Amino acid sequence: MVRVNNILFALALATGALATSNCQAKDNACRTAPDANMAQCASENAACCSTAYDECRGAPDANMSQCAAENAACTGSLQRRDDACETKYNSCRTAPGANMSQCAAEHAACTGSLQRRDDTCQTKYNSCRTAPDANMSSCVADHASCCSTAYDECRGAPDANMSQCAAENAACKNQA
């Protein structure tokens, strides 16, 4: 009897994962179709995820935690950790002659964990790109120039913290 329950449990897990992957496949097909209606695609995906969640919970010996995790992954509410930032950070720190301040600044900018004191460049960039007839090339160039100016001003300030300046510059550049 235990062996049958284990098989049913494994089948339930596989069925749930299969159902959520089917939702993703359907969503991808919908979004990449000619003249795709993104609102309709999102609605259909939400319905698919909901159905898969209900089926998972209604399965014999359902693992409610597994069902909830699959539903979160299906709906996109599960935040997945981006290992690209960690990989780049580790590569930077272990490189010969590594500049740990620069590595930390780049990592903070990559993960978005750096709190900027002044978001003037981001505010200007947002205004530029949301203006009627916005020229995105010009907006990006202006943003880069703003970041460079802010970086120069930071480094030239009395008692400047060069690590902080580098970190803010990296964060600024990653906002566009």
Per residue in 104-135, pLDDT (tens digit) is 777 777 766 655 555 688 888 888 888 888 88
Position 117 scores a pLDDT of: 52
Mean pLDDT of the chain: 77
Q: What's the average model confidence in pLDDT over 38-58?
A: 86
Is pTM beyond 0.85? Reply is no
Q: What's the average model confidence in pLDDT over 148-163?
A: 85
Position 128 scores a pLDDT of: 86
Closest CA to 78 of 88, 68, 91: 68
Position 30 scores a pLDDT of: 86
CB crowding 32-65: b at 16 or more within 10 Å, else e:
eeeeeeeeebeeebeebbeebbeebbebeebbee
- Write out the two tokens for 61: 């010996």
Position 78 scores a pLDDT of: 56
CB atoms within 10 A of CB 155: 14
Q: What's the average model confidence in pLDDT over 71-82?
A: 66
Position 36 scores a pLDDT of: 82
Q: What does the alpha-carbon distance between residue 62 and residue 58 come to, in Å, rounded to a whole number?
A: 7
Q: What's the average model confidence in pLDDT over 13-30?
A: 70
Closest CA to 13 of 54, 61, 48: 61
Torsion of CA 41, 46, 51, 57, to 10 degrees: 150
Task: Work out the pLDDT band at 176, boundaries 50, 70, 90.
Answer: low
- pLDDT exceeds 80 at position 138: yes
Position 11 scores a pLDDT of: 42
State the burial class of residue 16 (Cβ atoms within 10 Å of its Cβ: 0-12, 13-18, 19+). buried
DSSP SS3 for 20: helix
